[in-house]
Amino acid sequence: MSMISYIPTEKEYFSIGEVSRITNVKPYILRYWESEFHLVRPSRRESGHRKFNRRDVETISQIRELLYQKRFTIEGAKKFLKQQQKKGPLQLSLELNESPAALEALRHVKKEITDIVRTLKSHQIKKPD
């Protein structure tokens, strides 16, 4: 659905110039969309520069698709995004195939949780009848 060329996996925050290159949207348009779409809310550095997170970049890409490919108006895109936000995500998307370290971390967490559940079950206090 999105027109994102590539979001570097090692970065969490992006400058307006980086977002412009990733989404192929001019910086002045990004600033305008920030004022129109409340889902795009970059934080600010002490210097006042915008820091866009991954979710902002994905939202911008979705806005771009709605406006440029699907020919929505600004108001139509706002309504569509608001409806999508109410529905919530269909499923959490995890890109683990690119990171063996992430898979190993998940295996470790799963083992820890299993051990905790096992310990809790073995120490359950039986209630008197």
- Residue 120, domain extent: 94-124
DSSP letter for each residue of the chain:
--------TT-SEE-HHHHHHHHT--HHHHHHHHHH-TT---EE-TTS-EEEEHHHHHHHHHHHIIIIIS---HHHHHHHHHHHHHH--SS-----TT-HHHHHHHHHHHHHHHHHHHHHHHTPPPPP-
Q: pLDDT tens across 60-102, in order?
A: 999 999 999 999 999 999 999 998 888 766 555 556 565 677 7
pLDDT in tens, 20-64: 999 999 999 999 999 999 999 999 888 889 999 999 999 999 999
Same domain, 28 and 79: yes
Q: Stretch 112-122: mean pLDDT, rounded?
A: 90
Pair (62, 120) in one structural domain? no
- The per-residue pLDDT for 125 is 62
Is pTM beyond 0.75 here? no
Same structural domain, 41 and 81: yes
What pLDDT is attached to residue 1?
44
Q: Do residues 119 and 64 share a domain?
A: no
Q: Which whole number is the average pLDDT over 92-121?
A: 79
